[in-house]
Amino acid sequence: MTHKRHILVVDDDPSVVATLEASLEDDYQVVGVGDGQAALDAAASGQFEVIVLDVEMPIMNGYETCERLRADPAAGSVAVIFHSAHGDIAERLRGYAAGGDDFLSKPFDPDELKAKIFNLLARRDRQKEVDGQLEDMTNTALATADMVGEVGVVLDFQRQLAETPDYPAVARLLLDALHQLGLEGCVRIQGALGICAINSRGTPTVLETSILDHLEKMDAANLVHGIGPHAGFLREGVRLFVRNLCVDRPPTMDRTESERMGRQVDNIALLVNAATTRLVGIDSGRAMAELANTKQLIQITHEALTSLSAREHVLRMQVREVFNRLCSEVEDSFISLGLTDDQEHRLSHLVQSHGDEVMALLDSGQEAERQLQQVIAGLRGRG
């Protein structure tokens, strides 16, 4: 059964109302009323698409009724055909000024009335189609503008990310990007250099900490996880909780809102992946810095040992020369001391043995130096 469209006819003469209803009832759902206020009350329901409105009515004429009708947002878009025994140009202009769409003279021709209603409804349908297309174009333009802004946030994040020196800087930049996307949450970053957990205000609350702990237990093979009406993102070293971001969106959700949330999920996934890559760079950079420091320490130690070895060699030569002079002077003093041969032998042996002990000690130090040089050479080879 075809749905009939609703027409309201208004006239203070019941016979005219009955005639209008009879002319239209085969094609439309017709309701008749007898005065302007009744017309306004009926039109407020919003179900009528065309009103055939008598001009000459007591208390409130047709023009005043139309003006008040146009001021009502609930019924202001209804089409109005003025119905009057006076069809001169002045009346028609007055009807136009009051907000009418067409004019029908009394007595009316049913076919002319039907044609006028048909044309108004056809124009109304075309206008609805155009309005719908315009709304779609507007929504598309707004969505495109949103997408451009969101892409800008991601690109700006990636640009600034290259300059972040540590975990806290990465975490703060990630939350700043969330804020620019109209979202908030908390993040935990963990790696070789320790753990950093923050929200937009500072330290996460006890509840946020428990949520981050919960994320730690989830399957890290999946980047995105729905947590009720919220979302969690997992990557190596990064745990991010985002409030009021639906991963599993219900079918009843507004299409535009659903598409926006879908883009947000994708954008945040890009942010998290980029942050994870930066963490690898920070860890590698710190390792490289530590390796450079180690190489520098090895070089300093090598130079110090080389200098020490040179000084030790000079010291050995000096000690050897001192003992040689001591032995020579002791032997020369034997003549004046009046020692026996056995005493001279024992004294010479004593001096010589102490000299040998001193030189042995110096030799052991040199051996330790050689072993340390071998360790340094090995470290330099591995570096």
| CATH number, residue 16 | 3.40.50.2300
Higher pLDDT, 39 or 362: 39
pLDDT for residue 287: 46
pLDDT for residue 306: 65
Do 67 and 151 lie in one domain? The reply is no
User: With 80 as the cut, is the pLDDT of residue 299 above it?
Assistant: no
Do 220 and 101 lie in one domain? The reply is no
Q: Quick check: is 138 in a domain?
A: no
Cα separation, 277 vs 357, in Å, equals 62
Residues with Cβ within 8 Å of 375's Cβ and at least 6 positions away in sequence, in order, are none
Do 119 and 152 lie in one domain? The reply is no
Reported pTM: 0.47
Predicted confidence band of residue 80 (pLDDT cuts 50, 70, 90): very high
Q: Quick check: is 215 in a domain?
A: yes
Do 10 and 116 lie in one domain? The reply is yes
User: What rounded mean pLDDT belongs to the chain?
Assistant: 80
Burial class (CB in 10 A: 0-12, 13-18, 19+), 111: exposed
Do 276 and 314 lie in one domain? The reply is no
The pLDDT tens digits of the residues spanning 38-58 come to 999 999 888 899 999 999 998
Q: Quick check: is 312 in a domain?
A: yes
Q: Quick check: is 137 in a domain?
A: no
Higher pLDDT, 163 or 321: 163
Give how far Cα 3 sits from Cα of 6, 26, 27, 44, Å: 10, 12, 10, 21
The pLDDT tens digits of the residues spanning 286-298 come to 545 554 555 565 5
Do 123 and 20 lie in one domain? The reply is yes
Which range marks the domain in which residue 322 is found?
289-382
User: With 70 as the cut, is the pLDDT of residue 106 above it?
Assistant: yes
User: With 70 as the cut, is the pLDDT of residue 330 above it?
Assistant: no
Q: Domain containing 248 — which CATH number?
A: 3.30.450.40
Tell me what the mean pLDDT of segment 73-102 comes to: 84
Predicted confidence band of residue 138 (pLDDT cuts 50, 70, 90): very low
